[in-house]
Structure 1
């Protein structure tokens, strides 16, 4: 994913300066008869509650016509409820194409206010399942790791 400006949803979480952190997301190779690349969204929320900020969303950005790729974003239910439905897509620096199995690095937004957050990563796949992985982190110092069981592999914040 190319670096660019990130879009905040709701009230901004940006203030002060903090060390840059990186999210590592693994999309596992699944042994299934009919494989479709998953739609995946990642967002940050203050641990104490508050507005969500979308960090990335991978979907079929090239699909057009009667059923554009955005139609299926509602399958990312948690992200959709937390602010995905109000996000104007494609969002510069946030939107990207679906990814093949592998591990991907995504920078967290720069300038996050110091404090406790939860990074949420959700995946949904056609003829597959849906999974949400939550990683508690502290900005600027403490990352974390969580592991999915089906649609997502390891999610790490460093």
Structure 2
């Protein structure tokens, strides 16, 4: 009789485990701006528990190839909110997190697997030389619901599926 009981318990818990294992994907749009001097933006995305707590960087795009007396990391402080939430203490480049700036377009980034269930806020911030700075916030629930928000100038739509 025990094996049947374990089989039923396994059947009930399997969908829950599969749901938690299902990773959310972030879609970030970097818009094409009609400006005289266009520079690709530095962009960072991070998760914070909605109730407060430590931030977790999901991605950061900056000029990774810039070297010499002025490395690309020098301008990361322009991503002010991310910088204050943990960017300044992050060792870069970070494997699987940091990458080069992106041209205008839409990019897919997976959220980290194994996030504990709960309410989160995905923050995406962009800053551009001779341009502006923008922060977009998207509330999400793990497991379950994603969300979306639209930027005004430096960022397009940010969608979490």
Taking structure 1 as the reference length, what is the TM-score of the superposition?
A: 0.89
5+ long unaligned stretches in structure 1: 1-16
Distance in 1 between residues matched to 2:43 and 2:25, nearest whole Å = 17
Separation (CA, whole Å) in 1 of partners of 2:84 and 2:35: 29
1:98 and 2:101 are equivalent in the alignment:
yes
1:89 correspondence with 2:92: yes
Q: Give the secondary-structure state (helix, strand or coil) at the position aligned to 2:75.
A: helix
Over residues 95-128 of structure 1, what are the superposed CA-to-partner deviations in whole Å (9 max), with x where a residue is unaligned?
0000000000000000000100000000000000
Indicate the RMSD between aligned Cα atoms, in angstroms: 0.5
The one of 118, 122, 125 aligned to 1:122:
125
In the other structure, the counterpart of 1:153 is 156
Q: Which residue is 1:142 aligned to? A: 145
Task: Note the C-alpha offset of 1:18.
Answer: 3.6
Structure having the higher helix fraction is 2
Per-residue deviation at 1:19?
1.9
CA–CA distance in 1 between the matches of 2:37 and 2:49?
Answer: 37
Higher relative contact order (CA 8 A, sep 6+): 1
Aligned to 1:80: 83
Task: Please give the residue correspondences for 1:5-24 in structure 2 after superposition, counting only pairs within 5 Å.
Answer: 17-24=20-27
1:55 to 58, 68, 74: 58
The structure number with the bigger radius of gyration is 2
| Number of matched pairs | 142
Q: Deviations over 1:28-71 (max 9, x none)?
A: 00000000000000000000000000000000000001110000
Instruction: Give structure 2 stretches of 5+ with no counterpart.
Output: 1-19
Displaced runs of 4+ in structure 1, greater than 2 A? none
